[in-house]
């Protein structure tokens, strides 16, 4: 149902299936789609004490099958992109693939690695998303964020962002990214295009595309192992392991795919089995990249507490 509050439209009991790449069936009690930064800030002020969920492109999250009772604020409509000379500035909800294409059109090099990552800019900065040896932090200049505790806009420089492997300060502080600026290098169209094509070919061979619902790599690669998370899971014999409709992908064991009607419980159970078997065989504790959102059942809570320790 569509409702309106201070002219900002929201939906009640909103189905989230199309707003998460894992296509988990879940419902948001209140779902907001601000059209611009001003509306986003109004909502953040309004829900200051409600701990709202900030949703980018939903490509790194597991929604609870029990639903989301706090307001969900989707940033996907805040997607402006501008550039002056070699500097590109974009809104939080801009898809990073659109950024890569924009940079290519402007003959700017440095965003080729973003092609194929189904992220919003906000989500990519939150996770410090990366591929092919590069990360979003590489060309980063500054971000405009909203501090929801102090109710004010801050400008954070690269050093303030505390970027590291799949980490940024956005995971630590009550900040919502509004927009970010990057400086790229002058490039040659043909070279940028061939790098993007090469990256897409590499990706197609190693990752499920979105026609097979998934949320990207389940675990970070462990620092203390020569083997990747996927290789460790494979050596535990879990390729194709399935509970309900959640399955370890046949082609790469660090992905869990939804074969139809997977629930957050199915997904959690498979991920916990992967974690437990690797711990038992190699004494390595894998840590998840995926973020659980919503109310957990008692069993999910117990498992995610161990997974996130």
Ligand X SMILES: Cc1cc2nc3c(=O)[nH]c(=O)nc-3n(C[C@H](O)[C@H](O)[C@H](O)COP(=O)(O)OP(=O)(O)OC[C@H]3O[C@@H](n4cnc5c(N)ncnc54)[C@H](O)[C@@H]3O)c2cc1C
Which of 30, 32, 104, 126 is the binder for ligand X (CB under 6 A)? 126
Stretch that binds ligand X, among 51-59, 65-73, 222-230, 244-252 (CB under 6 A): 51-59
289 is an active site residue: yes
Stretch that binds ligand X, among 43-51, 54-62, 246-254, 296-304 (CB under 6 A): 54-62
Which residues 248-277 are close enough to bind ligand X by CB under 6 A? none
Binding status of residue 288 toward ligand X by CB under 6 A: no
285 is an active site residue: no
Closest contact distance (angstroms) between CB of 228 and ligand X is 13
Binding status of residue 130 toward ligand X by CB under 6 A: yes
133/260 with CB nearer ligand X: 133
Exactly one of 65, 166, 264, 300 is catalytic; which is it?
166
145/236 with CB nearer ligand X: 145
Nearest to 278 by CA among 203, 196, 200, 218: 218
Q: Are strands 61-63 and 291-293 parallel, antiparallel or unpaired?
A: parallel
Nearest to 284 by CA among 194, 201, 223: 223
Which residues is 63 bridged to in the sheet?
293
Stretch that binds ligand X, among 59-67, 154-162, 240-248, 300-308 (CB under 6 A): 59-67
Which residues is 82 bridged to in the sheet?
89
Binding status of residue 26 toward ligand X by CB under 6 A: no
Which of 26, 27, 59, 268 is the binder for ligand X (CB under 6 A)? 59
Q: Which residues bind ligand X (CB under 6 A)?
A: 21, 54-61, 75, 92, 117-120, 122-124, 126-127, 129-131, 170, 176-177, 207, 210, 214-216, 291
**Catalytic residue set:** 166, 217, 289
């Amino acid at each position: 149902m569509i409702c309106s509050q201070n002219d900002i439209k929201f939906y009640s009991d909103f189905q989230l299936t199309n707003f998460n790449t894992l296509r988990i069936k879940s419902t948001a009690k209140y779902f907001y789609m601000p059209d611009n930064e001003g509306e986003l800030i109004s909502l953040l002020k309004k829900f200051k004490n409600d701990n709202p969920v900030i949703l980018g492109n939903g490509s790194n999250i597991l929604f609870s099958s029990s639903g989301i009772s706090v307001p969900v604020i989707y940033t996907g409509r805040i997607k402006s992109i501008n550039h002056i000379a070699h500097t590109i500035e974009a809104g939080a909800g801009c898809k990073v693939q659109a950024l890569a294409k924009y940079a290519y059109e402007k003959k700017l090099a440095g965003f080729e690695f973003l092609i194929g990552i189904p992220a919003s800019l906000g989500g990519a900065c939150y996770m410090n998303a990366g591929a092919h040896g590069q990360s979003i932090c590489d060309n980063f200049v500054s971000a405009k964020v909203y501090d929801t505790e102090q109710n004010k806009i801050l400008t954070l420089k690269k050093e303030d962002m505390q970027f590291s492997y799949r980490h940024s300060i956005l995971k630590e502080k009550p900040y919502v990214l509004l927009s970010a600026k990057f400086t790229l290098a002058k490039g040659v169209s043909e070279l940028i295009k061939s790098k993007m094509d090469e990256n897409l070919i590499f990706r197609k061979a190693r990752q499920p595309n979105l026609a097979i619902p998934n949320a990207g790599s389940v675990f970070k690669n462990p620092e203390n192992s020569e083997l990747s998370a996927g290789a460790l899971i494979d050596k535990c014999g879990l390729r194709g392991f399935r509970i309900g409709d959640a399955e370890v992908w046949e082609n790469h064991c660090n992905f869990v795919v939804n074969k139809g009607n997977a629930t957050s419980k199915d997904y959690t159970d498979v991920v916990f089995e992967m974690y437990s078997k690797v711990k038992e065989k190699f004494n390595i504790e894998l840590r998840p990249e995926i973020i659980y959102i919503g109310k957990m059942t008692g069993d999910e809570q117990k498992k995610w507490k161990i997974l996130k320790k």
